[in-house]
Structure 1
Amino acid sequence: MAADWKKKCDSQWQLGAHGVLMPDSVDWKSVYEKKPFGRNLLQNPSPYGINHSVPPPEPHRSEIPPPPDQPPQFEPNGNFSGWKTSTEVLPYDTSGIPPGVVVCQLPQHRWFSLEQHVDLKAEGLWDQLLDEFQPEIVIEDWYEESQLDKSIYQLDVKLLGADAKTVIKQHAYNPEEDLDNYSHTWKKVSHVFSNYGPGVRYIHFLHRLKNQFMVEFFDTKVTDSSIIIKTSK
């Protein structure tokens, strides 16, 4: 029976043809049921309820403050289940204001962080595969070109060891936006981990989005985040 599950896995993903060793000690029934290859290991990849095949919604700027009895909005709207979220309030940027000039309103920026921790063995992968074959780990993300600031998006992905703390490989990305030319679309971010060395057991995925409040709340959205394990290396 165990041999049958092993054959099913080999047929499903062509593991032998890709040079993947298939030891009998692996629970092939569990691997087949969890289907760790070619699927997104992140939960809730589009927490704002939109995807990159549709243009991001244009922000509505009424420039009218909320009624006095209504608290201002500082957090984005969305379904963030599966994500650990946090907010960092940034100091006001007064660098461009000449001395003595009185400013009535300044934008307040905040980093909104979303992160997930992926247990690769719980997702159906096994030690020998991760240590010896080291399959490609493909990261993809799409963020909204909100133009709220020069820096509106940051990505930090870490491959972690068995203690879930030791960093074996890391990819960080912190782009700067072109604010001189208006553009409002989705921007793709991608990275492939390969030949990362033995010991990887977890992946920590974190992205930060810049939000702004000045009379009204405006956010930077993200969508179609993914971690996919390939049968190639």
Structure 2
Amino acid sequence: MTAPEWKKRCDEEWGLRGMAMPDSVDWKSAYEAKPFGRNLLKNPSPHGLSKDIPPPEPEMPDAPMHGPPRFEPEGDFSGWSTNTEVLPCDTSGIPAGVVICALPQHSWFTLEQTVDLKAEGLWEKLLDDFQPEITIQDWYEESQLHESIYQLQVKLLGADKSSVIAEHSVKPSEDLSTYSHTWKEVSHVFSGYGPGVRYIHFLHRLKNQFMMSFYSTSFTGSLVIIKPVKTSS
């Protein structure tokens, strides 16, 4: 297939109405990369869980764990950069003189990855002029370990990976008065974000707890999708 034929095939399948398709683009490579409609994040469900099935109930141990406290969950986190931040115990509500046998200790488990949009088959003129919609989605377990168990931060970055062109952050608070233990969705659509976007930095944090045993907050279905449409500028 010739270069003009690959370009025509891309135009027909993607339907980028109103978007110039320059001849300088390698349209065969762009077509084979399938930049639209697929999840650009690697390993979106490292716990092996699905949002279509309720999260598993935490197992209550018959006996306390032995050895040092545990602060990181189990899973295959390939594709993610991870970090653990152990938080100090909260003793603010305990009266003076009370003997403390054990207190829950919490930790934030951070996972992040960066998507290179040009490496995924998108081209500069598309990103700068057309500015296709960028949809993000995530699902986290309502573990109710704490009133704050989840945080999300997604940034659209320039070519230097440091300039932030657009950003979306979420820090929900949980209702601890009712036990529901379901998956909770977080989503956002970037549109009309301006020229210069070359990377997407996706970061979320989930809170875990250690008190005689380890209890985690899981996530699944992390998603970054580019759609061949735009709304407002």
Matched, 1:8 2:9: yes
2:167 aligned residue (163, 167, 170): 170
User: What SS does the aligned partner of 2:77 have?
Assistant: coil
2:119 aligned residue (119, 122, 147): 122
Matched, 1:202 2:203: no
Partner of 2:136: 139
Q: Which moved more, 1:55-64 or 1:147-156?
A: 55-64
Aligned length, in residue pairs: 229
Partner of 1:76: 73
Partner of 1:38: 37
Contact 2:71 2:84 in 1 (8 A): no
Runs of 5+ unmatched residues, structure 1 = none
Q: Distance in 2 between matches of 1:73 and 1:90?
A: 13
Contact 1:63 1:215 in 2 (8 A): no
Runs of 4+ aligned residues of structure 1 deviating over 6 Å after TM superposition are none
User: What SS does the aligned partner of 1:192 have?
Assistant: strand
Runs of 5+ unmatched residues, structure 2 = none
TM-score by length of 2: 0.96
TM-score by length of 1: 0.96
Write the mapping of 1:151-170 to structure 2, written as runs, cut at 5 A.
151-170=148-167
Q: Distance in 1 between matches of 2:63 and 2:69?
A: 12
What is the one-letter code of the residue matched to 2:136?
Answer: I
Q: Distance in 1 between matches of 2:18 and 2:46?
A: 37
User: What SS does the aligned partner of 2:145 have?
Assistant: coil
What is the one-letter code of the residue matched to 1:83?
Answer: W
Percent identity over the alignment is: 69
Q: Distance in 2 between matches of 1:72 and 1:102?
A: 21
Contact 1:134 1:198 in 2 (8 A): yes
Q: Distance in 2 between matches of 1:197 and 1:74?
A: 40
Q: Distance in 2 between matches of 1:95 and 1:229?
A: 46
Matched, 1:105 2:102: yes
Q: CA RMSD in A?
A: 1.1
Contact 1:63 1:216 in 2 (8 A): no
Q: CA deviation at 1:72?
A: 4.5
The Cα offsets for residues 97-129 of structure 1, whole Å up to 9 and x where unpaired, read as 112111111011000000001100000000000
Contact 1:157 1:170 in 2 (8 A): yes
Q: Which moved more, 1:134-143 or 1:3-12?
A: 3-12
Q: CA deviation at 1:63?
A: 5.5
Q: CA deviation at 1:35?
A: 0.4
User: What SS does the aligned partner of 2:115 have?
Assistant: strand
